[in-house]
Every structure is written in structure tokens, then in C-alpha cells.
Structure 1
Amino acid sequence: MNNNEDDWEYSINLPHSPLAVGVVRGALRLMLRAHGLGELLVTAELLASELITNAHVHAPGPVLPACEALREMAATLGVGHQR
């Protein structure tokens, strides 16, 4: 396990529900602010909303978003689903 505070990753399991978009946006706000990346919020929330909405519309089941540190002032956001 890496204990470097600059290296982090979060993921949450979400039900196949339209409510998932709001949950992810709220969680993303907390994650980015906690790591001093508040300036990425507007763009990150827009991207997360699009990704989660598309996953809800096109994936057959629960959604698995993940956000992790990429490097200073950057983060990656990805979405998968359970089969």
C-alpha cells in the first residue's frame, strides 16, 4: 500500500438509477476539494455527469465510477459496469 498523500484513488458502486449522477457529483466535489483540486470542479462535474448518464442509459447494470490522482493538478475519471 502506498502511503503517499499525493497518490490516491476512490471508487464507489452505484445502483442502476438516475440518482447516481447526483451522488457522483457530490462525491467528486468532496474528493477534489479534499486534495486541493477545487479548481477542477466545474469541468470534472460536467464530465462525470456525462459519463454517469451515458453509463446509466447504455449499461445494463450497476455503475462503477473511479477517480484517481494522475499528477499534480490533474485527476482521471473513469466509469465501468458490472456484468
Structure 2
Amino acid sequence: NILNHWTSRVTGATYPSGWQIEINDSHVQTLLTLTPEVQNQELVVYQSTGNAYWEGAVTIHGQSAGTQVQGEGYVELTGYSR
């Protein structure tokens, strides 16, 4: 599930920003929330790749198999700018 959105003032692209991931396995139930450490992590690289994209660090909190978990992660989003 997407929890929020962020719109770039530079490109006008709107990116998903914050996610909730649920995994229901017969043995393990997991619910994780991923939150961007900074909203504006857009890279505008028109001269090299011809596009703009969002990539960056996220913090992860949640529960897996009844245990509180936390961590750090990385998300890359492409195809949102035109």
C-alpha cells in the first residue's frame, strides 16, 4: 500500500512516498512500513540518461512473526517523470 506521495518542484513528477508491505505466509505474518528518510530524493539526469527518477534511503519498522523489527533500505522509482 502507498501511504503518501511527493511531488517534485523541478519536474512536476509525483512519486509514491512511504509504503506498507504485508506478507501473509502460512508460517510467518509480516507487516513492514517503509518511510523515506528525506522526501526529495529525486535525481534529474536528463543529460546522461534522459530522465529523472527517485532513489534513496528508507527506514523500515514493523513486525514479523510477532517480533518488532527495524532496519534501513533503499528504494528506486522510475517511470514517474515525463
Given the two structures, how large is their TM-score scaled by the length of structure 2? 0.33
Higher helix share: 1
Higher relative contact order (CA 8 A, sep 6+): 1
Answer with 1 or 2: which has the greater Rg.
2
Q: TM-score, normalised by structure 1?
A: 0.33
